[in-house]
Structure 1
Amino acid sequence: MEMLSLFDQGAFAPCPAPFNLAAFVLRHAVDLADKPGLEVVGPSGLQTWSFAQLEAAVRGIGTGLLQAGLTPGQIVLMRLGNTVDFPIAYLGAIAAGLVPVPTSSQLTEDETAKMIADLQPAAVLRDPQVACAPHDTQILLAELQAMHALPPCAYDMGDPNRMAYAVYTSGTSGKARAVAHAHRAIWARQMMVTGWYDLKPTDRLLHAGAFNWTFTLGTGLMDPWAMGATALIPEPGTDPSDLPELLRQHDATIFAAAPGVYRKILKSETAMELPKLRHGLCAGEKLSSHLHGAWNSTTGTELYEAYGMSECSTFISSSPAHPAHGDALGQPQRGRKVAILGPEGPVPQGQEGTIAIAANDPGLMLGYLNAPEETAARMQDGWFLTGDQGAMAIDGQVSYLGRADDMMNAGGFRVSPIEVETQLSAHPGITQVGVATVEVKTDSHIIVAFYTGPTQLDDAELEAFAAAHLARYKQPRAYVYLDMLPSGANGKLLRRALPAYFKG
């Protein structure tokens, strides 16, 4: 009998009610009052926040926002920079029952104008240095910092399914959409604690990202705090080449970063002495096996990858207990229900389809704000469709094959850009590579590889290398050397922007 691509080992424990996300994150603050919850590390010294100080600041902000006339359920847009003020204001709003919307400080005034029109926020929490369109109620950074000293607000306890926060994602329509998440989202992240991080209260987790990035907010801050572990964040402006020294100096036991950061570190380091480091965590884009191997041999530690999206926290990952095999991402975390779907439902094991997670997963979004049709379009028979292609092996391990709209067609064969990039990135002269199909004349497409490296390589050498590692129809027909590949604000490769760089 053919086995289907379906992973279901039973549901995770339900979220208790009443519930508040911020209360859960800071649940150890009383027992661990004096323990460092956050250390901002860097050349200019150490800034330490104990769990008691973090909770006092968070609940003080909650009080201040309510005193400013805001009421639970109202949306507040966050326009703050890469400082500790960001997570404190974020949790303070949630503690008081408000709905913060964290946004990148790199956005322009025009981009924020669209968000303000879309969200109709009751207030904007703002650092005057950060661009923002006009809004009648702006609570400025100095006011927020003064609120830390106010008496603590009571945690707004309620239905775990009510909205807690929203984050922006580049929607499938190409238009940025606000993804609404429930308070229960933090409860669901406990599946990642065992299924990816192997996080313990004794850990010191250093996250290389900025305070105001959702990957940092979740993996770098909320999850360690909820576990009673210490979060380490590099001070703004830290160069990736300084990270190994910071990891060493501050006894980091777990390191988390996007693949681009690992790439930059490995460019400058030959061997790294990191005696306290247990392992690294990686997410944000597919990790190449070449990069994984390089980290392994340079540090002697393992790297565990996870797959998730703005709409759902990471739900497929490798971990110390379940390492990935070959180029697989890992397996769905225990408590998740995941399938690889075709038009008729789960496809046979080993076949390509769309990666999907159960629509009732506690970590899945409530929906796109003000876009019910777009939300409905992502659902199919009780599943949420990620829009990414994958295949599930007999042991439940999932391989990532790229976004459905990134899939290439070469002479009638469907080819995953990830597969081609993985093989080419093993070439010693290639630092980063992106692959896309380019229309060279009407209805005639070829696969082109765009790459960076110390120097431009000979095309004949690259062709020979590709021929040794890839089937003929998967081999690029042209190679383009670039100083850098196009990437989004979070460092992810923008495959769709590649064809514009093809001149041939």
Structure 2
Amino acid sequence: MNIVHYLDHSARVGPERPALYLGPDLHATYAELQHRVQALAGHLVHLGLAPGDRLAIYMKNRPAYLDSLLAAWYAGLVVVPINAKLHWCEVDFILENSGSRLLISDRSPEAPLPSSAERLDLDAPDFVPDGHPLGAPVDRAPSDAAWIFYTSGTTGRPKGATLSHGNLACMANCYLTNVDRVEAEHVLAHFAPLSHGSGIYLIPYLMRGCANLVPASAGFDESEFAELVNRHTGLAMFLAPTMIRRLVDHLRARGTNLNLDHLQAIVYGGGPMYERDLREALETFGPRLVQIYGQGESPMTISVMDRDAHSPYAASKAPSGPDSQSLVPVGRPHPQVEVSIRDGEGTPLPDGQEGEICVRGDIVMLGYWNNPEATSEALRDGWLRTGDIGRMEADGTLYLTDRVKDVIISGGTNIYPREVEEVILQHPAVHEVSVVGAPHPEWGEEVVAFVSLHRPLDPAELDQHCLAHMARFKRPKRYRILESLPKNAYGKIVKTELRQHLAQPQEESAS
């Protein structure tokens, strides 16, 4: 079944229900959205696109994005979302690698692209859909590709994780069953990029006949967030942990009052949620946080930490003794998937032992587009090797320790940067931190911490803080102070750039 069937279903049972808001204002009912999607889908067929062809979307969050996404599925096409922050050179690689025939974008490249993809601007003054509107979605099998998500590419070229219509249907059902209580009057606000998780999280909301909301700013703005929460009831959203941190800082600095009765849920994921940030977020938003763990190869659906599981952190305190730090878990596996912790040879490990997190189930991707070597490396014996290090306790609670490639091995002992970062963030002067390993002639690697600060801080004071809260062998041997930490287009700290900083001389002091 074509995943866009959910749009037709909701338009049939509730044609006058709100389907799309632009900021505070209603932009389309379900009947109106269906009409626009059918007309654009007919235009795509008129252009000669056939089922299975790839269509790329490169724009910020806006109503035309949702029109393009849904119309592409309606016409049986495969959507290739491209983050609006990427450079045209990166865009061209994705177009070439995916073999996209059409790029829908509201901007023009600075120079002609080598890619053969044609460009379409839906907001161009002279654009009028040609052809006959499609009366029904093009039939697609559950195994047919629907969405190709390109990884952020921090280590080499991005890879296109290919998800099928069946994958996305499974994901939507996981969301409705385990993540959030979605009711028809709820509204999903897209503050995070539609090219990332937010774009496919709209599917369960289509299933329930809910409205989607695109901010007028076309992205994430802290003041706009507060205005929209106070304006709309039943508002839910997906946010990255870094976005939640920014919201907490903004609301506290300005003393903004939120009508929390209007806030249904903040679902977060896509990066580590540190204990300090979680406690402060719960103080600010109350028991409305839900954590999901997944990746582009298995979006949203590896594990979930529901509202009840967050309650202990509402009153938790900072670690108080050596090696007493704790990681925030990423919840328990969804019942619809299997999760196994395995060693490098693929052998399952006992409860409580750290190894690579592996996943099996109907949500796991088909493979990497046009990349059989990477596919065979990631999918082994039916299991997705996530590249994440973690452990699972006997009760099913899953802890995400780090990425395989980020583990620091010093003197033959594994040190997980995430654990060190948790402790450093407990210091009130620290704004952000990222820990990496640097080559060491005797120990193999040593721990180096990159930090940005709220105020000046002597590294010696930070070192004493670490010694008081973690085992000595884990503590950083060096501290590098940066004004801000480098991030990629999805807001994640780029450790490869930090490792390049290590080759640059710098006085190890706070300034």
Fold similarity call, TM over 0.5: yes
Structure 2 residue aligned with 1:353: 355
**Stretch moving more, 153-162 or 233-242:** 233-242
In 2, distance between residues paired with 1:487 and 1:139?
Answer: 30
Q: Give the structure 2 partner of residue 124 of structure 1.
A: 103
How far apart, CA to CA, are the structure 1 residues paired with 2:208 and 2:188? 11
Mapped pair 1:298 → 2:320: no
CA distance in 1: counterparts of 2:7 and 2:299, whole angstroms: 16
The alignment partner of 2:21 has SS state of: strand
Q: 1:246 to 1:172 in 2, by over 3 A?
A: closer
CA 1:268–1:128: 2 relative to 1, 3 Å: closer
CA RMSD of aligned residues (A): 2.4
Partner of 1:34: 16
Do 1:29 and 1:51's aligned partners in 2 also have CA atoms closer than 8 Å? Answer: yes
More deviation in 293-302 or 89-98? 293-302
1:449 is matched with 449
Cα offset, 1:185, TM superposition: 2.1
Return the letter of the residue paired with 2:352: G
Q: Tell me what 1:334 maps to.
A: 335
Selected match of 2:177 from 194, 197, 209: 194
Query: Quick one: which of 158, 170, 179 aligns to 2:140?
Result: 158
Count the aligned residue pairs: 479
Residue aligning to 2:208 = 227
Unmatched tracts of structure 2, length 5 or more: 313-326, 507-511
Corresponding residue to 1:284 among 270, 281, 294 = 270
Instruction: Give the conservation status (yes or no) of the 8 Å contact 1:56–1:152.
Output: no
Q: In 2 relative to 1, CA 173–37 (structure 1 residues): closer, same or farther, beyond 3 Å?
A: same
Summarize the Cα distance change of 1:383–1:340 in structure 2 as closer, same or farther, 3 Å threshold: same
1:164-175 superposed matches below 5 A: 164-170=146-152, 174-175=156-157
1:355 is paired with a residue of what secondary structure? Answer: strand
Letter in structure 2 aligned against 1:133 = L
Q: Could you tell me how far 1:278 is from its partner in structure 2? A: 3.4
The equivalent of 2:297 in structure 1 is 311
8 A Cα contact 1:20 1:157, kept in partner: yes
1:224 positional shift: 1.5
Residue identity (%): 26
Inter-CA distance 184–424: structure 2 relative to 1 (3 Å threshold): same
Residue 86 (structure 1) shift: 1.3
Q: 2:113 aligns with which of 112, 125, 133?
A: 133
Find the aligned partners of 2:225 and 2:50 in 1 and give their Cα distance.
41
Alignment of 1:14-413 (within 5 A): 19-41=1-23, 46-129=25-108, 133=113, 135=116, 137-142=118-123, 146-147=128-129, 151-170=133-152, 174-189=156-171, 190-211=173-194, 213-219=195-201, 221-235=202-216, 236=218, 238-270=220-252, 272-273=257-258, 274-315=260-301, 316-320=303-307, 323=310, 327-342=328-343, 343-358=345-360, 361-413=361-413
Going from structure 1 to structure 2, the CA distance change for 1:228 and 1:237 (only over 3 Å counts) comes to: closer
Q: Report how far residue 107 of structure 1 moved.
A: 2.7
Give 1:150 deviation, angstroms: 5.6
Q: Quote the Cα distance in structure 2 between the aligned partners of 1:224 and 1:277.
A: 16
In structure 1, the residue corresponding to 2:84 is in which secondary structure?
Answer: coil
d(CA) in 2 for partners of 1:78 and 1:33? 27
Report the residue type matching 1:137 in the other structure. Answer: E
Query: 1:127 Cα deviation (Å)?
Result: 2.3
What amino acid maps onto 1:152 in structure 2? L
Q: Distance in 2 between matches of 1:371 and 1:426?
A: 42
Residue type of the partner of 2:176? V
Given that 1:24 and 1:226 are in contact with CA atoms closer than 8 Å, whether structure 2 keeps it comes out as yes
Distance change >3 Å, CA 467–CA 338, structure 1 → 2: same
Compare 295-304 and 383-392 and name the one that shifted more: 295-304
Q: Shift of residue 47 of structure 1?
A: 4.5
* Whole-Å separation in 1 of the counterparts to 2:170 and 2:223: 34
Q: CA deviation at 1:466?
A: 0.8
Which has the larger displacement, 416-425 or 69-78? 69-78
In the superposition, relative to structure 1, how do residues 82 and 148 fare at CA in structure 2: closer, same or farther (>3 Å)? farther
Residue 60 of structure 1 deviates from its aligned partner by 1.3
Shift of 1:57: 1.3
The code of the aligned residue for 1:336 comes to V
Q: What is the CA distance between 1:26 and its match in structure 2?
A: 4.4
Q: What is the CA-CA distance between 1:188 and the residue it aligns to?
A: 0.8
CA distance in 2, matches of 1:482, 1:172: 20
Cα offset for 1:442? 8.0
Question: Quick one: which amino acid aligns to residue 81 of structure 2?
Answer: P
Larger RCO, structures 1/2 (Cα 8 Å, 6+ apart):
1
Pairwise CA distance, 1:222? 2.5
Q: Which residue of 1 aligns with 2:320?
A: none
Q: Is the 8 A contact 1:436 1:449 kept in 2?
A: yes
Alignment correspondent of 1:490: 490
Secondary structure, in 3 states, of the residue corresponding to 1:278? strand
CA gap 1:80/1:148 in 2 versus in 1, 3 angstroms:
farther
- Superposed CA offset, 1:204-260 (max 9, x none): 23232133x2211022x2222222222223222552243123212222442321111
Deviation at 1:173, TM superposition (A): 6.2
> Structure 1 residues 130 and 314 mapped into 2: Cα distance closer, same or farther (>3 Å)?
farther
What's the CA shift for 1:165?
2.4
Q: C-alpha displacement at 1:321, in angstroms?
A: 5.7
Please give the alpha-carbon distance, in whole angstroms, between the structure 2 residues aligned to 1:435 and 1:26.
Answer: 48
**Are the equivalent residues in 2 in contact too, given 1:80–1:86 (CA < 8 A)?**
yes
1:414 CA drift (Å) = 0.4
Aligned residue type for 2:50: T
Write the mapping of 1:422-433 to structure 2, written as runs, cut at 5 A.
Answer: 422-433=422-433
Q: Which amino acid is the alignment partner of residue 396 of structure 1?
A: G
Tell me the distance in 1 between the aligned counterparts of 2:443 and 2:412. Answer: 12
Match of 1:176, SS? coil
* Alignment CA distance shift 1:268-1:105 (3 Å): closer
Q: Look up the SS of the partner of 1:296 in the other structure.
A: helix
